[in-house]
Amino acid sequence: MHGTEPTQAQLAALETTAGGGNDGPFTMVNLIKYKDQAIYPEDYDGPARTGREAYAQYTGTVGPLIYALGGSVVFQQDRELLFVGDETADADEVIIVNYPSRKAYLNMFHSSAYQNVIVHRKAGLVWRVLYQCTAKGRG
């Protein structure tokens, strides 16, 4: 099942991992599928946008938050060819972000600055899949 937000169980798993004794750097691999036209809540008072434009509004705020906590976007590129799999796995973009720790990520995730802009992510995406990865030999 695709969605745009972590389930409570997924968030709890990341929080549990962050509470462990080895909360070092990790990488988040994002697979993104955009809506043709962003769909905002009825009470949203802003301009009409494409899904990509709405997501760009989100990343315009989140990017500086990531860099401020010591993270970095290390890869962002449109998908060119679905080579293996079927159309249910056909993402539009791949984004890879390095974070200094799960605690740092979770602090950003729970911040009001972050929570206030997720409306744009939700409006612009059909779905996203995130894979939290840690280099071998690291926490």
Distance (Å, rounded) from C-alpha 27 to C-alpha 50? 28
pLDDT digits 0-9 by tens, 8-58: 999 888 888 877 666 899 999 999 999 999 999 999 999 999 999 999 999
pLDDT digits 0-9 by tens, 86-106: 888 899 999 999 999 999 999
Q: Which residues pair with 133 in a beta bridge?
A: 27
Residue 76 has pLDDT above 80, yes or no: yes
Q: What is the pTM of this model?
A: 0.89
Q: Does the domain spanning 8-133 belong to CATH 3.30.70.100?
A: yes
Which residues contact residue 48 at a Cβ distance below 8 angstroms, ignoring those fewer than 6 apart? 37, 38
